Structure 1
């Protein structure tokens, strides 16, 4: 059987500022709703928010830097990729119960079906961090 559905793609660059987090959450939610993936909305928005917060907090980006966000959806999977200018790879941490931070990647790992890192596109500094969620759709 040949699938006639086309992959969907959305890309945006957002300033690497914590004040842009709400915009990122709204953008992801709007596209998932448009793509009729509302059943993935909570997990995808929270995981994206965690990756965005990590990129802003831990990458040492400058005031003019941005974080690229790519949403890709095909008939089987939603993949969300964030690219930032830092070459430092994220590392899951073990946090104490009283710690106020340090759980972001553990949250992503718990929500996502898979996650990881990738090198940046040629000629662009930094890294990519991504996660995927199975859509539950069949071909």
Structure 2
């Protein structure tokens, strides 16, 4: 899905829904790289695509039902900030942990914390009292 502003340039907010399958990580990274280039923010490509990979991989790995579930991504350029969001239906809040030297997992959010200017988690709601998952977000300052 491509949203355009004035028929030429992508709007500064892009959203997609992905099946919870590993190929979506590569496809989402390509979309982010494409829009960073069009938004004249390519200098953020390395760090932001790595963070997107970590967040999206976590969402897929912990999806309640990987056969039917979807995850959403959102990229937003606002002023001198880039915001990336990954939303899923799993209610468990991710937490950075201390991975051991031989551990194969557990470093993703530590990497996010190093590469992003800021990151966090917000519940997704479907009304006043109904939580339907979470959104994990990361922000990057765009250098002058």
TM normalised by structure 2 equals 0.85
Name the SS of the counterpart of 1:125 in structure 2: strand
Structure 1 portions without partners, runs of 5+:
1-6
CA distance in structure 2 between the aligned counterparts of 1:62 and 1:21, rounded to whole angstroms: 14
Structure number with higher strand proportion: 2
Shift of 1:62: 3.4
> Which runs of 5 or more residues in structure 2 are unaligned?
1-10
RMSD over aligned CA atoms reads 1.4
* 1:69-108 correspondence runs (5 A): 69-108=73-112
Which residue pairs with 1:45 in the alignment? 49
User: Bigger shift: 60-69 or 38-47?
Assistant: 60-69
The structure with higher relative contact order (CA 8 Å, sep 6+) is: 1
Aligned length: 131
CA distance in 2, matches of 1:66, 1:34: 27
User: 2:138 maps to which residue?
Assistant: 131
Separation in structure 2 between the aligned mates of residue 59 and residue 66 of structure 1, nearest angstrom: 8
Separation (CA, whole Å) in 2 of partners of 1:59 and 1:16: 7
Counterpart-to-counterpart distance in 2, 1:88 and 1:59? 10
